[in-house]
Amino acid sequence: MTLEEFRASLTLAAPPEGIPAPLVALWWDAKGDWARAHGMVDDLETAEGMPVHAYLHRKEGAASNADYWYSRAGREFRRPTLEAEWEALVERLAR
């Protein structure tokens, strides 16, 4: 799935079948449902879930919580803007 295909799926009422939970979280985030997005990754301590969890806390404005999850992810995922970070995460997860 490409970034463009993922964006097109945002017109649907539900996320596409078979995509991983961190990508579902980004789908709900893009639909404006932060709480549902966070619920998808809150207990998901995987290499794919932790950077999404960090992004969501950064978006929430909880910098220390975001930093914690960025640290747990083991890599620097933060981008200059939230939109750029969202796109990078989607591109990585949608492969």
Q: What is the pTM of this model?
A: 0.94
Looking at the chain, the whole-number percentage of residues with pLDDT higher than 90 is 91
Q: What is the DSSP string of 46-74?
A: STTHHHHHHHHHHHHT-HHHHHHHHHHHT
Q: Is 33 among the domain residues?
A: yes
CA distance 23 to 40: 9
Q: Is 56 among the domain residues?
A: yes
Print the domain residue range for 89.
3-11+21-93
Looking at the chain, the whole-number percentage of residues with pLDDT higher than 70 is 97
Q: Is 16 among the domain residues?
A: no
pLDDT tens sequence across 68-81: 999 999 877 678 89
Q: Is 7 among the domain residues?
A: yes
4/80: higher pLDDT: 4
CA distance 16 to 13: 9
Which of helix, strand or coil describes residue 87?
helix
pLDDT tens sequence across 40-74: 999 999 999 999 999 999 999 999 999 999 999 98
